[in-house]
Amino acid sequence: MKIGFIGLGIMGKPMAKNLIAAGHELVVRDMNAAAVAELTALGATEASSPKEVAEQVELVVTMLPNSPHVQTVALGADSILDGAHEGLAYIDMSSIAPLVSRQVGAALTAKGIPMLDAPVSGGEPKAIDGTLSIMVGGPQALFDTYADVLKVMGASVVRVGEIGAGNIAKLANQVVVALNIAAVSEALVFAQKAGVDPEAVFQAIRGGLAGSTVMEAKAPMMLDRNFKPGFRIALHIKDLTNAIETGHEVGAPVPLTAAILEMMTALKVDGREVEDHSALVRFHEKLADIELGRGEHNS
């Protein structure tokens, strides 16, 4: 299939590479020339605008930072909408506000371009190995048509409802992930401050009810002080902000989410927003006046 891919960041670049590896022909667009060069070296074609991408393909996929970027690429000047043609479909895999997904979907559908919102979870490692969790909103028939494309990038591909439902599911996912990271951070800092090796605590509790995918992925990063971004704090702040705004819109209070957002915002003030969200442990370390580490028994 000839696919357009717009957005070759931490997540988008490996996702696009997996599509090429699966035999799809790609037309790509990104502001980062180096990322584009990596894809063209693998056989992709570069386009100069979203319009030019859309004109050449039957499916456009976007993986962009936030709602305004999706609105601009889909509906702005030289946009996907401007490149509309019969048979074109659109899948937005960005994590954005559900209301924006619905607005963009309505505008495109009115011009004959059906849309799915299909945000992902799993971070850079799962983007690289093609095992992302993909949450999809949109028409069942469109989902059925492009499910195999999505399965190239994800191990779990689930349609959860109509357009916008994918991003509702993603926001729910981000709430759970953020709260898990905060809980793991608080628990390990608590253990070390109390004079117990936090790595030993991690090993002791990981197999019980407290164990989780988040703990398995993030506790070792915290203990190694490895905060290289798989998913930046800045992006998690964006997602939690969208979750809170959506909660306000629908009447679903999210007090724990609000608390974690404030913690992450404090880290942003400290210049940590480009670090992995596992760096949330720094907030708890600051409160306890310690630095987490392997083999650490004393405060």
pLDDT at 123: 85
Task: Delineate the domains of the chain, giving CATH numbers in brackets.
Answer: 2-162 (3.40.50.720), 168-288 (1.10.1040.10)
Q: What is the pLDDT of residues 109-118, one digit of tens each?
A: 999 999 999 9
17, 51, 170, 218: which is the annotated catalytic residue?
Answer: 170
Position 177 confidence tier, pLDDT thresholds 50, 70, 90: very high
The letter for the amino acid at 81 is L
Rounded Cα gap, residues 16 and 231, in angstroms:
18
CB distance 70 to 62 below 8 Å: yes
286 is catalytic: no
Rounded Cα gap, residues 213 and 218, in angstroms:
9
Q: How far is CA 140 from CA 107, 123, 144, 170, in A?
A: 19, 26, 6, 19
Average pLDDT, the chain: 96
Q: Is the pLDDT of residue 298 over 60?
A: no
Alpha helix (H) residue ranges in the chain: 12-21, 33-41, 50-56, 67-75, 98-110, 123-129, 140-153, 165-193, 198-205, 213-224, 233-250, 255-269, 281-288
Q: What is the pLDDT of residues 253-282, one digit of tens each?
A: 999 999 999 999 999 999 999 999 999 999
DSSP state, residue 163? T
pLDDT at 297: 63
The residue-averaged pLDDT of 227-246 equals 93
pLDDT at 246: 93
Q: What is the pLDDT of residues 54-108, one digit of tens each?
A: 999 999 999 999 899 999 999 999 999 999 999 999 999 999 999 999 999 999 9
